[in-house]
Amino acid sequence: MPDPAPGTPLRPIPARPHSGRDDEETRQLREYNAHIVALDTRFGAGAILAPAVRSAGGALRAATAGRPSRDRLSAVAEAYQIAGWLAYDADRQGLSHRLTTRAVRTARLAGDRSAEHFALSQLAMQAIHLHRPDRALRICDTVLEDDLPPGVRTLFVLRRARALDQYGEHARARRLIGETYARHLDGVGPRDPAWTWWLDTAEITWHHAMLHADNGRWTRAIPLFEQAAAGRIPGSRTAYNDHAHLLHALARTRSWRAAGDLLESHIVPARATIASGRITRLLADTAHPPTGRPAASRDLAHDLGTVLRGAGFPGGPANRDRHR
């Protein structure tokens, strides 16, 4: 399914007065969406992906069976965007793309530009993850032509920096990352949507680290991954993500003692409660460093294999079809 072009207009549904039932079902869906987000922030996609997908599909069928209000369709778009994120975190990239595309189209039917921008930013994020900078830039450049609230613009500038870096325009990417930091320090504006809450300094720092990691500059990435992790909620899925990337960078620089300490202090304790397909796949790559490994590397690979088996990853590190 192709990406929906950001400028493609869909005629919003006519505004109409809300019925009591419509308002109540919209409220219930928003509450459920918030509950799923809270679970994901703490535990990762894991067991909540399937119910989130069912909820989004059921909400759309129920809404379109009648004459839904714009608010109700907007809540449905939010449900699809959340389900798309969960599929992304579970490393179900094809499913993620389909769900997020549905979120974009539903947001357009609702006339909800904020929800549309959020879903488009997710498509750009996935394109970067899959190393499709052409797709990410097409989305970002079109959206950045809009009159965006400050926080939304900051997000798309950040995505654009990552995409340009993958094109090899490293100096421009670094300048845009600097611009992202500066924009974030200016604070949110009155028009910024509630969903920009998660775009904080730690998130920007993680993307800064990824500029270096994508190009094998591991020694530069390490302190940035450390800073990002320090800014997260301890024990959260985002902290686990940062620590996994830090572990990967430490392994690539053969910092075996630091890698072993990190594995024991943060990776192993998190495996029992946090489920993320992306992180599990990254750990699988970390457990397979180049051949001719020293004994410390073999020990780390063995310990990571134990973590992966505990996470239910079939075959552990042997599975190498990583989506980038």
pLDDT of residue 3 exceeding 60: no
Cβ–Cβ < 8 Å for 317, 284:
yes
Same domain, 120 and 36: yes
In a domain, 3, yes or no: no
Q: How far apart are CA 64 and CA 6, in angstroms?
A: 23
Say how far apart CA 302 and CA 316 lie, in whole Å: 10
Q: Is 1 helix (H, G, I), strand (E, B) or coil?
A: coil
Task: Give mean pLDDT, residues 83-104.
Answer: 97
Based on the domain organization, do 181 and 251 belong to the same domain?
Answer: no
Q: Which domain holds residue 269?
A: 219-324
Q: What is the DSSP letter of 4?
A: P
- The closest alpha carbon to 269, from 235, 296, 294, belongs to 235
* Burial class of residue 223 (count of CB atoms within 10 Å of its CB; 0-12, 13-18, 19+): middle
Number of domains forming the structure of the chain? 3
Among 126, 155, 173, the domain boundary falls at 126
- Does residue 235 sit within a domain? yes
d(CA 43, CA 22): 31
* Cβ-based burial of 217 (10 A; exposed 0-12, middle 13-18, buried ≥19): middle
pTM of the model: 0.86
- Highest mean pLDDT, choosing among 165-179, 181-195, 292-306: 165-179
Give helix 70-89 / helix 20-43 axis angle, nearest 10°: 20
Query: Do residues 234 and 300 share a domain?
Result: yes
User: In degrees rounded to 5, what are phi and psi of residue 61?
Assistant: -65, -40
Q: What is the mean pLDDT of the chain?
A: 86
Which positions ≥6 away from 190 have C-beta within 8 Å? Answer: none
Q: Provide the token pair at 291.
A: 């051949």
Q: Is 14 inside any structural domain?
A: no
Q: Domain check: are 120 and 38 in the same one?
A: yes
Could you tell me if residue 7 is inside a domain?
no
Average pLDDT estimate for 120-133: 97
What is the pLDDT at residue 268? 87
